[in-house]
């Protein structure tokens, strides 16, 4: 007999019981507050990102998007909040997550080659003192190939263009063979071809059953790229399926009226690029 799939009723896409982390959610946080000083950068945020879907975190500069990801991962401390990954406390699920930080936050002068950067993605599995086998090197090359960077394997990372660096960081995430991919603005500062290459890789991951959560700035492509959106401006503004959540009202609430009415209409009515 086929078991009946368990569904969690969430008519508004938000109401889930914090006491019951659901395996259906790839990433969930409850009561997340983060502060670098007196004013919180992220305040009392609940969020649920569905498993097997492509989700976007959207909000203006300084809204706390990067902070939300970093605090989830424990890269910056949270004042309060619990985070689960596939229903398990994140501390016990680290090996299921690959994280690609915002490019601007990385020191690109670090003297290392492209292939080494990608292989670093394997250290969590092998251990820092473990030896990377020939098979590992082959795996790293395969992932570089998937992002169209195989010819650059022996180049110094600092000698790449911004878009090429972004592709290498995606390759490093791919080699981890994670279940949840967290990406902070993967399309920032890349040309159309690189954007296409990256979105194709992300869609392929989704087709393999993986979950993707990406900070995304380009409102015009949000509908075409993502299934689920989370709108934030320090606090959660809205979350849910892109069709019902990416609305003029929610965008206005997120950006505080800083987008022109015509622009919002275009974004929410025409549906953006696929």
Ligand X SMILES: Nc1ncnc2c1ncn2[C@@H]1O[C@H](COP(=O)(O)OP(=O)(O)OP(=O)(O)O)[C@@H](O)[C@H]1O
Site of interaction with ligand X (CB under 6 A): 36, 41, 59, 61-67, 102
Closest CA to 71 of 34, 37, 39, 103: 34
Q: Which does 163 bind (CB under 5 to 8 A by kind): ligand X, Mg ion, none?
A: none
Give min distance, CB of 145 to Mg ion, in A.
Answer: 29
Closest separation in Å from C-beta 153 to Mg ion: 29
C-alpha 37, offset from chain centre: 25
From the list Mg ion, ligand X, none, which binds 252 (C-beta under 5 to 8 Å, kind-based)? none
Partner touching 18 among Mg ion, ligand X, none, CB below 5 to 8 Å by kind = none
67 binds, among Mg ion, ligand X, none (CB under 5 to 8 A by kind): ligand X
The item of ligand X, Mg ion, none sharing an interface with residue 81, based on CB under 5 to 8 Å by kind, is: none
SS3 string, the chain, reads CCCCCCCCCCCCCCCCCCCCCCCCEEEEEEEEEEECCCCEEEEEEEEEEECCCEEEEECCCCCCHHHHHHHHHCCCCCCEEEEEECCEEHHHCHHHEEEECCHHHCCCCCCCEHHHHHHHCCHHHHCCCCCCCHHHHHHHHHHHHHCCCHHHCCCEHHHCCHHHHHHHHHHHHHHCCCCEEEEECCCCCCCHHHHHHHHHHHHHHHHCCCEEEEECCCHHHHHHHCCEEEEEECEEEEEEEHHHHCCHHHHHHHHCCCCCHHHHHHHHHHCCCC
CB under 5 to 8 A by kind: which of Mg ion, ligand X, none does 27 bind? none
Closer Cβ to ligand X, 16 or 70, answer by number: 70
Q: How far is the CB of 5 from ligand X (least distance, A)?
A: 35
Min CB(65)–ligand X separation in Å:
3
* φ, ψ of residue 8 in degrees (nearest 5): -100, 120
Q: Site residues (CB under 5 A) for Mg ion?
A: 66, 102
How would you classify the pairing of strands 180-184 and 97-100?
parallel
Q: Residue 22 or residue 72: which is nearer to Mg ion going by CB?
A: 72
What, of ligand X, Mg ion, none, does residue 64 touch, CB below 5 to 8 Å by kind?
A: ligand X
CB of 42 to ligand X, least distance (A): 7
Closest CA to 74 of 97, 91, 55, 96: 91
For ligand X, give the closer residue by CB, 10 or 188. 188
Q: Which is nearer to ligand X, 70 or 146 (CB)?
A: 70
For residue 162, the minimal CB distance to ligand X (Å) is 15
Closest distance to ligand X from the beta carbon of 147 (Å): 23
Residue 101 or 241: the one with the smaller Cβ distance to Mg ion is: 101
Residue closer to Mg ion, measured from CB, 102 or 252: 102
CB of 59 or CB of 121, closer to Mg ion: 59
């Amino acid at each position: 007999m086929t078991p009946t799939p368990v569904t969690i009723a969430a008519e508004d896409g938000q109401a889930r019981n914090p006491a019951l982390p659901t395996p259906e959610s790839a990433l969930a946080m409850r009561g997340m507050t983060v502060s670098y000083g007196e004013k919180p950068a992220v305040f009392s945020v609940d969020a649920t990102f569905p498993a097997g879907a492509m989700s976007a975190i959207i909000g203006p500069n300084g809204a706390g998007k990067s902070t939300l990801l970093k605090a989830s991962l424990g890269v910056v401390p949270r004042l309060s909040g619990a985070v689960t990954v596939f229903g398990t406390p994140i501390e016990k699920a680290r090996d299921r997550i690959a994280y690609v930080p915002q490019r601007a936050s990385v020191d690109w002068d670090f003297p290392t080659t492209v292939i080494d950067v990608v292989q670093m993605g394997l250290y969590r599995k092998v251990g820092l003192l473990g030896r990377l086998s020939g098979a590992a090197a082959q795996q790293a090359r395969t992932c570089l190939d998937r992002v169209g960077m195989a010819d650059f394997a022996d180049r110094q990372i600092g000698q790449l263009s911004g878009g090429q660096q972004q592709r290498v960081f995606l390759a490093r995430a791919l080699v981890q063979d994670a279940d949840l991919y967290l990406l902070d603005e993967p399309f920032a500062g890349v040309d159309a071809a690189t954007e296409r290459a990256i979105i194709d890789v992300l869609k392929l991951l989704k087709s393999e059953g993986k979950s993707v959560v990406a900070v995304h700035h380009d409102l015009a492509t949000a509908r075409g790229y993502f299934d689920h959106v989370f709108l934030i401006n320090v606090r959660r503004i809205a979350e849910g399926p892109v069709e019902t959540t990416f609305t003029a009202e929610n965008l206005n609430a997120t950006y505080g009226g800083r987008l022109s009415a015509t622009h919002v209409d275009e974004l929410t009515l025409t549906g953006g690029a696929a």
